[in-house]
Structure 1
Amino acid sequence: MRTRNLKAALVAVCLGAATLTVVGTTASAAPTTVAGAPAAAPAETAKRYLVTGPKTSAQRSRVARTGAAIDLVRPDDALEISAIPSEVAAIKRLGFTVTALGAFPRHAASAQSYHTHAETMAELDQVVANYPQIAKKFSIGRSYEGRDIVGVKISDNVAADEAEPEVFYQANIHARERITNEQALYFIGILTKEYNSTARITKLVNEREFWIIPILNPDGQIYDMTSDTQPGRMWRKNRQGVDLNRNYDYKWGCCGGSSSSPSSETYRGPSPASAPEIRAVQNFVKSRIVGGKQQIGMFLDIHSVANLVLWPFGYTTANTVPGSMSADEEAAHRTIGVEVARFNRYTPEQSSDLYITDGSSDDWLWGDQRIFSYTFELGGGNFYPAPSQIESLTQINRDPLLVLAEYADCPYRAINKQSQYCPPA
């Protein structure tokens, strides 16, 4: 099997050097704020509301344009949102009805049942200790408060950089979406524990390189989980105050899908990739360009709580975009999305069918890097599902996570055009 020099590949990275560090099992030093000072307190505080009246994607996009974060579209089309007072006023001016919602239900022992950041890092250490031949920790860089952004690489020859299709899954970009970390840990678990015992998983680990980051937003996750009142603080952004999923350097702030207000839940930041977490992701992804070719063939951003499978684009309602999304590219994205939705019973749709977003992960991974990209919105009814739901909410995505990885070598196989787009080397 041909191997590549990973260290050399990481030297030539755009936007500065991407720090892809193999991480041992020792604890990191106490974090220090990268920018030298904590973020300023917002002038307004977001609260939960129910919006009735919007029925279509266009109407939901008008709500999103105010800067409010649309948390959930209910079956009756009512929207659960997180919004600051000025956004609530703007939504009312659109003619929609806004009603205050209370806090999410408290769940006994919630904090103990979901993995804290420290417990997640300890579990990754244990995985590497138990399966050193196929699992290795890595860091793509540091968060705003100076914490390592840690993941696990899984492959049969994990110490080597092999010429195999690569899979990149990230979770917990939004701090309060706590179940997403559990989803990533579940998948790491089945890839390692079932290696050499389950034929399908053994084949994938032998033929793929998996890069999995369970907590992309460690500062926010820690802050959200240190609430005095369970289940959490409802914190969405990083601790710099930026919505990380509006900060990617593709169509940033282009189309009314984010906010310029630092108080807003969808604040896109002062400039593209201004958040250190997003710079780290983008640099890591670019570091996987080896010999002029992007090695990552499949990307997934794990969110909650809407039971959806989404694909690009979010910034435009057009299904195809000249030079950015051809008819075959759209068809392959859609066909794979529909296929995985048959397993988890989520609703499959283009991201903008929900509402317009800009500066999002999927749009950058596809628009900038041409990596087939998806978002899973896990279920559970709210951002803090009862601990008793964790197992069912994560296990339902066993097949979808595996299917995406199986398509990493040639997504065009989904539309029977592999001979056109993926000819034998």
Structure 2
Amino acid sequence: MVNDYKTRKGWGYLKKISQLIVMMLVLSLLIQLPGETKAASKTIVNPNKTYTYTQMGKDITTLKKAYPDLVQVKTIGASEYGRKIYAVGLGKGSTNVFINGSHHAREWLTTSLNMYMIEKYAAAYKGNKKISGYNAKSLLNSSTIWFVPMVNPDGVTLQQQGLKAFPKSTHKAIIKMNNGSKNFKRWKANAKGIDLNRQYKADWGKIKNSPKSPSYKNYKGKAPESAKEVKAVVKFVNQINPEMTVAYHSSGRILYWNYKQSKTNYNRDHVYAKKIGKMTGYSLVYPGKNPSGGGFSDWFISTKKRPSFTPEIGKPAGETNLPVSQFSQIWKENQGVGLYVAQESIKLKDARDKKSAATLKKDSAAKLKTAKKLEKYYYTDIKSTSNLKITDAHQKLYNTVTKDIKALQSKVNKLPSKHTKSIKADITAMKTYTSRSLTFMNAVKYGSTLQTADKAVVKMINDGIVSSKLPDSHKKLNQTITQMQKKVTPLYGKGARTLFTQKYVTPAKRTAEDTKYDVERYNLLVLIEGQVKENKFTDAQKNLNKLPALEKKSIDLKKKNLSKYPTYMKWENNFKVKIAELQKEVTDALTKEEEAAKKAEDQKRMEQEKEKAAKELKEQQAKENEKAKQQVREKQKANQLNNEKNRSSFDQQKPAQPNSKPNSPHNGGTPRQIVNN
């Protein structure tokens, strides 16, 4: 019994232990990596294996497809061996942050961290989740985090795959750079033997302990920014102008954050560094006596005067890559870093924008005062028609204000609208002054054009030029008057509009009115010439008859302004010569037409009389013939009556003979001869 009891008790204990193990296994399956949302979807980036350049490229494509409205991808350059260097943008905001990894080949777990960060932040954005207390959606709507996950794709590939990934012709040189070894696990440099984190322009010339030739580590190159990979990064950073940067390295769980800053910037960056140190548990590295220089963060801090951080992730691993087994802890330590940096970058940019806006406001206010000086050139000093001109001072001031507007607008476009309302109001006011000024200058210029068109018409009259140029010039004058009126309408100030009309429009209209009958006469002249060519002389004469009245109207107008048309009679005389020639031709033609018509009429009358006589003769002959026929008919009728009478008398005198038949052609007898008395 005791043994049975012990057995049962043992089995019960084992059963509980088994249940506990099962529960722990279930929980381990449910628990995700730190920072992941509970609504787990299939993970794109797998950081728990050797993460290659090829895999990174595939994952970038997949992430872009999974989050098309949030993720953007750029190729910012190529490595020394032609591998593309990718930049992945995450977010929709105007504040830029820059995070990179794998400056050093053996530190490729930083690429895994970059890529995993992209995916988890994107998923948190889509699910409206927080990571380490930071709202991904809110922050990424106000910022864009740019990642270059693998700065050194050649070096990473060499460290992971060895010589097989490179042309055979390069193997000897690569082995030499590795001190004769074919084991590349310690490799830091790019595949040309240049340490990319010793390539930046930050006391590059003072870098110590650099090999004299390409090597697997520490060789700074022949000149700063000579490596293609570094050139691409520098160019890209200058393009996006980030507020803060993070350059991930390994290993040691320490944080570099300073490089010869000013005291103000040092104190500022120290606050950020302490926060990141607290988040990650990494120890802050404080300035030493001889900073090495040449690193990305060194360059960014010294050149841009903005914060940059270099976290060395993972426990010390020596001269090789970190084991992937450390990734879970590394992610837990760093999951909030990108969002924290984005948050502080937004604040930094907003503070700087606000300060910039305040400075710009002072500038815009001063420039607005300058712009207001334009007013005197198009309004205040416009008292008479003699003021309607473009002075050198006016043009110079207008050009200055126009440039000022362009410069202010360019600066305003870079600032958030919440800080620029009053600046935009100043720019709008400046544009009003330049617009009014330009309208004035355009009116003056077009006024000169109208005066030229006016003079052209007057000159033709005074020079006696009778040609198609007159109606063409007159038409152009009227068109120019219409356009000038359109230039006058938007002018600022009723006084200015009145003066422009007085100086330009009214005289031109007077000229158009004075010469309209000349144009009408010339057009009639052309019409008459055409009618003469077509032998329409009657129509031509009708139009010739219209000319005297038009001539009188034209001359009356000229006489009212003889100072303007002192030699207008030249045109009149030349016109009369042309008309006289036409009149003679028309008169001669009409005379010939009348004579021909009279002759034709006489001929027609003679033919009609002849036809009438012939008709009368024919009718007379017809009457006579009818009369003769009537007489014949009457005579025949009389003869018939006499014959019948004679026959009747004869029959009465002859005795009857019953048995005999009268001779006739029908009974063979001889016909009787009838004697007509």
Q: Does the pair score TM above 0.5?
A: yes
Q: CA deviation at 1:262?
A: 2.6
Q: Residue by residue, what CA displacement relative to the aligned partner does 1:61-86 show, whole Å, maximum 9, x if unpaired?
A: xxxxxxxxxxxxxxxxxxxxxxxxxx
Q: d(CA) in 2 for partners of 1:182 and 1:354?
A: 34
What amino acid does structure 2 have at the position aligned with 1:243? D
After superposition, the CA RMSD in angstroms is 3.0
* Residue number in structure 1 paired with 2:273: 337
Q: d(CA) in 2 for partners of 1:111 and 1:378?
A: 14
Q: Residue by residue, what CA displacement relative to the aligned partner does 1:205-259 show, whole Å, maximum 9, x if unpaired?
A: 1010111011110000111111499996211000111000001122112242644
1:167 and 2:97 aligned: yes
SS of alignment partner, residue 154 of structure 1: strand
Q: CA deviation at 1:124?
A: 0.9
Mark the CA change 1:344 to 1:418 in structure 2 (over 3 Å): closer, same or farther: farther
1:123 and 2:53 aligned: no
Q: d(CA) in 1 for partners of 2:248 and 2:275?
A: 17
What amino acid does structure 2 have at the position aligned with 1:347? S
Q: d(CA) in 2 for partners of 1:412 and 1:186?
A: 26
Does the 8 A contact of 2:255 with 2:282 survive in 1? yes
SS of alignment partner, residue 106 of structure 2: coil
Mark the CA change 1:389 to 1:354 in structure 2 (over 3 Å): closer, same or farther: farther
* Residue number in structure 1 paired with 2:140: 205
When normalised by structure 1's length, the TM-score is 0.63
Q: CA deviation at 1:180?
A: 0.6
| Moved segments of 4+, more than 4 Å | 227-232, 416-424
Mark the CA change 1:379 to 1:411 in structure 2 (over 3 Å): closer, same or farther: farther
1:301 and 2:250 aligned: no
Matches within 5 A, 1:58-77: none
Q: d(CA) in 2 for partners of 1:344 and 1:231?
A: 32
Q: d(CA) in 2 for partners of 1:131 and 1:354?
A: 47
Q: d(CA) in 2 for partners of 1:266 and 1:373?
A: 21
Q: Residue by residue, what CA displacement relative to the aligned partner does 1:288-328 show, whole Å, maximum 9, x if unpaired?
A: 3xxxxxx3101110000011111131xxxxxxx5xxx2211
* Residue number in structure 2 paired with 1:189: 119
Q: CA deviation at 1:344?
A: 0.8
1:408 and 2:345 aligned: yes
1:151 and 2:97 aligned: no
Q: d(CA) in 1 for partners of 2:119 and 2:280?
A: 19
* Residue number in structure 1 paired with 2:160: 225
When normalised by structure 2's length, the TM-score is 0.40
**Partner residue of 2:191 out of 207, 227, 239:** 239
* Residue number in structure 2 paired with 1:285: 237
Q: d(CA) in 2 for partners of 1:421 and 1:409?
A: 15
Mark the CA change 1:251 to 1:185 in structure 2 (over 3 Å): closer, same or farther: same
Q: d(CA) in 2 for partners of 1:232 and 1:387?
A: 18
Q: CA deviation at 1:175?
A: 0.4
Q: d(CA) in 1 for partners of 2:183 and 2:208?
A: 32
Does the 8 A contact of 1:195 with 1:205 survive in 2? yes
Q: d(CA) in 1 for partners of 2:274 and 2:139?
A: 21
Does the 8 A contact of 2:142 with 2:346 survive in 1? no
* Residue number in structure 2 paired with 1:310: 256
SS of alignment partner, residue 82 of structure 2: coil
Higher CA-based Rg: 2
Q: d(CA) in 2 for partners of 1:282 and 1:256?
A: 23
* Residue number in structure 2 paired with 1:22: none
SS of alignment partner, residue 250 of structure 1: coil
* Residue number in structure 1 paired with 2:474: none
Does the 8 A contact of 2:251 with 2:322 survive in 1? no
What amino acid does structure 2 have at the position aligned with 1:304? S
Q: Residue by residue, what CA displacement relative to the aligned partner does 1:341-387 show, whole Å, maximum 9, x if unpaired?
A: 1111100123x449732211011112122332110100133143333
Mark the CA change 1:378 to 1:385 in structure 2 (over 3 Å): closer, same or farther: same
Q: d(CA) in 1 for partners of 2:242 and 2:150?
A: 19
Q: d(CA) in 1 for partners of 2:244 and 2:253?
A: 20
* Residue number in structure 1 paired with 2:201: 249
Mark the CA change 1:420 to 1:175 in structure 2 (over 3 Å): closer, same or farther: same
1:387 and 2:315 aligned: no
Does the 8 A contact of 1:258 with 1:358 survive in 2? no
* Residue number in structure 1 paired with 2:33: none
What amino acid does structure 1 have at the position aligned with 2:220? R
**Partner residue of 2:308 out of 373, 376, 394:** 373
Matches within 5 A, 1:3-18: none
**Partner residue of 2:214 out of 234, 245, 262:** 262
* Residue number in structure 2 paired with 1:361: 296
What amino acid does structure 2 have at the position aligned with 1:271? A
| Structure with higher RCO (Cα < 8 A, 6+ apart) | 1
* Residue number in structure 2 paired with 1:292: none
Q: Residue by residue, what CA displacement relative to the aligned partner does 1:142-170 show, whole Å, maximum 9, x if unpaired?
A: 100011101211113xxxxx6x2100001
Mark the CA change 1:422 to 1:250 in structure 2 (over 3 Å): closer, same or farther: farther
SS of alignment partner, residue 284 of structure 2: strand
* Residue number in structure 2 paired with 1:398: 335
Q: d(CA) in 2 for partners of 1:181 and 1:282?
A: 19
Matches within 5 A, 1:71-110: none
SS of alignment partner, residue 107 of structure 2: coil
Does the 8 A contact of 1:236 with 1:265 survive in 2? yes
Mark the CA change 1:353 to 1:405 in structure 2 (over 3 Å): closer, same or farther: farther
Mark the CA change 1:112 to 1:347 in structure 2 (over 3 Å): closer, same or farther: closer
Structure with bigger strand share is 1
SS of alignment partner, residue 299 of structure 1: strand
Does the 8 A contact of 1:252 with 1:358 survive in 2? yes
Mark the CA change 1:224 to 1:400 in structure 2 (over 3 Å): closer, same or farther: same
Q: d(CA) in 1 for partners of 2:290 and 2:338?
A: 25
SS of alignment partner, residue 113 of structure 1: coil
What amino acid does structure 1 have at the position aligned with 2:110? T
What amino acid does structure 1 have at the position aligned with 2:62? Q
What amino acid does structure 2 have at the position aligned with 1:360? G
Mark the CA change 1:179 to 1:112 in structure 2 (over 3 Å): closer, same or farther: closer
SS of alignment partner, residue 241 of structure 1: coil
SS of alignment partner, residue 235 of structure 1: coil
Q: CA deviation at 1:409?
A: 2.4
Q: d(CA) in 1 for partners of 2:58 and 2:154?
A: 17
- Segments of 5+ residues of structure 2 without an aligned counterpart are 1-45, 164-180, 359-417, 420-677
Q: Residue by residue, what CA displacement relative to the aligned partner does 1:152-203 show, whole Å, maximum 9, x if unpaired?
A: 11113xxxxx6x2100001001000121111101210111111132151011
SS of alignment partner, residue 69 of structure 2: coil
* Residue number in structure 1 paired with 2:50: 114
Q: d(CA) in 2 for partners of 1:421 and 1:257?
A: 43
